[in-house]
Structure 1
Amino acid sequence: MTATAAPLDILLLPTWLVPVEPAGVVLKEHALGIRDGRIAFIGPRAAALKLQATEVRELPGMLLSPGLINAHGHAAMSLFRGLADDLPLMTWLEKHIWPAEAKWVDEAFVRDGTDLAIAEQLKGGISCFSDMYFYPKVASDCVHNSGMRAQIAIPILDFPIPGAGSADEAIRQGIELFGDLKHHPRIKITFGPHAPYTVCDANLEKIRVIAEELDAAIHMHVHETAFEVQQAVEKTGERPLARLGRLGLLGPRFQAVHMTQISEDDLVLLVESNTSVIHCPESNLKLASGFCPVERLWQAGVNVALGTDGAASNNDLDLLGETRTAAMLAKAVAGSATALDAHRALRMATLNGARAMGLENEIGSLEVGKAADIVAFDLSGLAQQPIYDPVSQLIYATGRDSVKHLWVAGKQLLDDRQLTRMDEQQLTATAIAWGRRISGQHE
């Protein structure tokens, strides 16, 4: 970076800068410069102040990190938040969620629910999320308009779903949307077969062939519960992950969501195929689905990312809170207080998510040349004092209300906790109106 280079669009001067890559580093008295939506400068504050910048932002008491990446969720289900709590997974799905979806889910529901989820996530420091829900084109329009970044997984099941009368129709829609958005700077289309128990071999093979042709990812719920695995073994003699391996789906483009049940053979399959695992600890805890052995996976070399799941089973889209839960749970499951330390937990919520989505060269860490997807956490509050290790304080002592500013591709979408492109009051009013309709207060 030389003084003759074009001026920076904005120069950020935080107390701490945590790049995530290299691992375990905390930079003090450093600055970050953005130009044309990308990180153009990272260096000592003294050197930064000699540079030309259109805007200079002092961020005292703040920690800059890569924007958080929510690697699994069902955005529009935010409108079902709290609808059917404290029930087993299959009861929750079959008796409550699927009937509610059949009755209520249309394009308007998906638009309003996705907008609500985007706003909640932006306020929680999330700059990129993965969505797997009906009417994916509507969701992608919401993402486009919001300025956020997302992976949209096309939902595919063997039976009709809202917006698609068959698996073939869903796949066709997915191919079309992939073509329409393949050059979009912030939206990536992937294929989302729902789960091994809702998609047959023939449809999985179609998805594999198309994903290979398009170089697209596959995002799927796998081994969410012991019951799912047991049922598959009783019916076919084969564990679901082994079936996916036999069908050729596993690989660096495959995102296995949940994975609470992992045998030694499963672990070998994950490692050899370089498959990513998306861990959703709070949803798994709330539905008593089981525990993903995160430390065991990490030590074996598996890329583990983090997701909130949908607000209907979590019940929030708070990835910072999810990261804290993941760190605590990993220690209990491993029986070791050193499992998943704070720095690795932050990596799981940022760079590992980017890697799972195939976006690690673009986002997930603060490095010159990468997209400027950045969050500023305010650690100046009473409950964060004193600060010995700011990353430890962020993970173990800080809530999402500390998120002060957020940039995606250099555009500020949250400024001093205020959404810059979305009307929070209108979103709240719309969500309340949907709640009244769904609960039957007026139909």
Structure 2
Amino acid sequence: MPNHAPTPTAVKADLMVCPRWIIPVEPYGVVQEDHALIITNGQIVDLLPREAAIQRYTAESIETLPDHVLIPGLVNTHTHAGMTLMRGIADDQPLKTWLEDWIWPLETRWVSTDMVRDGTLLACAEMLLSGITTFNDMYFFPEAAAEAVDQAGIRASLGILAFEVPTAYGHGADDYLNRGLATRDALRDHPRLSFMLAPHAPYTVSDATFDKVATLAAQTGLGIHIHVHETQQEVDDSLRQYGERPLERLERLGILGPQTLAVHAVALNDSDIALMARHNVHMAHCPTANLKLGSGMAPSSQLHAAGINIALGTDGAAGNNRLDLLSEARLAGLLAKGMEQNPGLFPAHSLIYMATLGGARALGLQDQIGSLAIGKHADLCAIALDSTATLPVFDPASQIIHCAGREHVTHVWVDGQCVVKKKHLTEISHGEIYAKAKTWENRFRG
């Protein structure tokens, strides 16, 4: 019989997680069975066979998950968290109508620190229960979003917004940028917050503002998070107004580079793809939102073939209508296979990569999160594979993508802190978010 007692010289650790399988993402394509992950001070300190771990470490807490696969926490590279309160409010509309006739008028009336804080907290709850440990946000009042992030225990990259239209948040692009930068300065030491410059889109941002964004990116090292080529109409309008495609305009203005995250990237031609590849631009693929708004389908296989890093995003719950990255991963793979009539495209491990380390790379956080590597933050997601929908298990990676859903996520850790335990939030009260959501529902109805 194996000796399950630690040796007298065992190293102390905070947490030992012992699942049936571990998919560390780095190295790619590996599935480790009967291994243990060791965590101290919120960081991964070791990953080794379970028996060796028991011999080498004495942990303050041990989490045994006999039917689970452990993966890095999912990274949602594009959302508008505060808009979760508008879920389902204007379904079945094309993007332009959805924005101009429904969303923007509602925001004009209601957007505030309270709305953003409450909507973001609701989004954080949904995302954590779905295995998402990091999200990249683009919305008003990032300081209010930061309060929700702090309460929820999640990790976030917050947008320093820029566009020309005045709102309750700011008088114009300069005001938005100044306010966002001030928020970033005030919160720069927060352990779970980072920031990106977030010019909304080519059709809402002037050349002068893009010049300022490019200068700020060069001065601060911040990434740039922008909607681009979301619809064919956006491209056609740009050609009429500027005589060039949106990506060509962004190149001329110095916006494209390895720090740039292009969201949606649906209406692309070969020259657009070559332009993105030449500048090492990342892409946030949001397949559900693109389909639901009738925007089209991004040419993900061509982008991948060009060497472009593809990450995954949910977009906002006002347009998706769910913040579920596992379903985005599955849909992204199926769309590519069907569009190209090639079942070999985007195997399960590549989709898990897109949802984890690919997302971390897109946010410039690849040295901190995205894989279960020693020294990284212990952001983890445990998925149970013991239900009728997931049995039998021949390939845990395949089960994650093609069988499991967010309802199979049982445990989630951020910085080694358990924020979801046995499918229940530990830091957020369901009663609190329910009451807030009902309050805003009644306001919007009125």
State the TM-score, normalizing by the size of structure 1. 0.97
Q: How does 1:218-257 map to 2 (within 5 A)?
A: 218-257=224-263
Partners of 1:77 and 1:177 in 2: CA distance: 20
Higher mean displacement: 3-12 or 301-310: 3-12
Find the counterpart in structure 2 of residue 379 from structure 1: 385
5 Å matches for 1:9-408? 9-50=14-55, 51-408=57-414
Deviations 1:210-244 (A, max 9, x none): 11101101100000001100111122220000110
Give, in whole Å, the separation in 1 of the partners of 2:23 and 2:356.
11
Q: Distance in 1 between matches of 2:225 and 2:292?
A: 22
Supply the distance in 2 between the matched residues of 1:179 and 1:79 (Cα, whole angstroms): 28
The alpha-carbon distance between structure 1 residues 198 and 60, as it changes in their structure 2 partners (threshold 3 A), is: same
Letter in 1 for 2:310: V
SS at match of 2:442: helix
- Determine if contact 1:283/1:308 at 8 Å carries over to the other structure: yes
Are the aligned partners of 2:19 and 2:69 in contact in 1 as well (CA < 8 Å)?
A: yes
Per the TM alignment, residue 3 of structure 1 is displaced from its structure 2 partner at its CA by 7.3
Partner deviation per Cα, 1:244-281 (whole Å, 9 max, x = no partner):
01111111111100000221211111111111000000
Q: Matched residues in 1 for 2:298 and 2:252: separation? A: 23
Counterpart CA distance in 2 for 1:380 and 1:119 is 24
Deviation at 1:5, TM superposition (A): 6.4
Superposed CA offset, 1:16-57 (max 9, x none): 000011111100111101011000110001101112111111
Measure how far apart 1:425 and its partner are. 1.8
Give yes or no for contact 2:188–2:194 (8 Å, CA) kept in 1.
yes
Paired residues of 1:181 and 1:189 also in contact (CA < 8 A): no
The one-letter code matched in structure 1 to 2:87 is: R
Rounded Cα–Cα distance in structure 1 between residues aligned with 2:52 and 2:198:
47
Q: Could you tell me whether the CA contact under 8 Å between 1:259 and 1:277 is conserved in 2?
A: yes
Preserved contact between residue 143 and residue 150 of structure 1 (Cα < 8 Å): yes
CA distance in 2, matches of 1:334, 1:153: 34
State the alpha-carbon separation in 2 of the partners of residues 82 and 93 from structure 1.
Answer: 13
Q: Within 1, Cα distance between the matches of 2:100 and 2:390?
A: 43
Q: Report how far residue 161 of structure 1 moved.
A: 2.2
Distance 1:170 1:66 in 2: 34
Displacement after TM superposition at 1:185 (Å): 1.7
Quote the Cα distance in structure 2 between the aligned partners of 1:141 and 1:6.
36
Q: How big is the shift at 1:429?
A: 2.0
Task: Name the aligned partner's letter for residue 30 of structure 2.
Answer: V
Q: What stretches of structure 1 of length at least 5 have no aligned partner?
A: none
The question of whether the paired residues in 2 share the 8 Å contact of 1:232 and 1:238 is answered with yes
Q: Which secondary structure does the structure 2 equivalent of 1:57 belong to?
A: strand
Distance in 1 of aligned mates of 2:168 and 2:195 = 19
By how many angstroms is 1:301 displaced?
0.7
Whole-angstrom CA distance in 2 between matches of 1:106 and 1:287: 26
Gaps of 5+ in 2: 1-6
State the AA in 1 paired with 2:133: S
- 3-state SS of paired residue (1:52): strand
C-alpha contact (below 8 Å) 2:379/2:415 kept by paired residues: yes
Q: Deviations over 1:352-378 (max 9, x none)?
A: 000000000000000111100000001
**Percent identity of paired positions between Structure 1 and Structure 2:** 46
- For the residue of structure 1 that corresponds to 2:241, the secondary structure is helix
Task: Tell me how far apart the structure 1 counterparts of residues 176 and 186 of structure 2 sit (CA, whole Å).
Answer: 15
Distance 1:134 1:280 in 2: 21
What count of residue pairs does the alignment treat as equivalent? 440
How far apart in 1 are the matches of 2:342 and 2:34? 34
Q: Which range is displaced more, 201-210 or 169-178?
A: 169-178
CA distance in 1, matches of 2:254, 2:262: 14
Partner Cα separation in structure 1 for residue 273 and residue 168 of structure 2: 35
How far has the Cα of 1:106 moved from its partner? Answer: 1.0
Q: Is the 8 A contact 2:160 2:181 kept in 1?
A: no
2:120 aligned counterpart, secondary structure = helix
The separation in 2 between residues aligned to 1:388 and 1:247, in whole angstroms, is 50
One-letter identity of the residue aligned with 2:200: H
Hey, what does 2:3 align to over in structure 1?
none
Cα distance in 1, alignment partners of residues 11 and 432 from structure 2: 40
Separation in structure 2 between the aligned mates of residue 309 and residue 388 of structure 1, nearest angstrom: 33
Cα distance in 2 for partners of 1:58, 1:179 equals 41
Q: Is the 8 A contact 1:135 1:162 kept in 2?
A: no
The CA distance in 1 between the partners of 2:369 and 2:9, in whole Å, is: 27
Q: Give yes or no for contact 2:15–2:61 (8 Å, CA) kept in 1.
A: yes
1:197 to partner: Cα distance: 0.4
Kindly indicate whether the alpha-carbon contact (under 8 Å) linking 1:191 and 1:217 is maintained by their aligned counterparts in 2.
yes
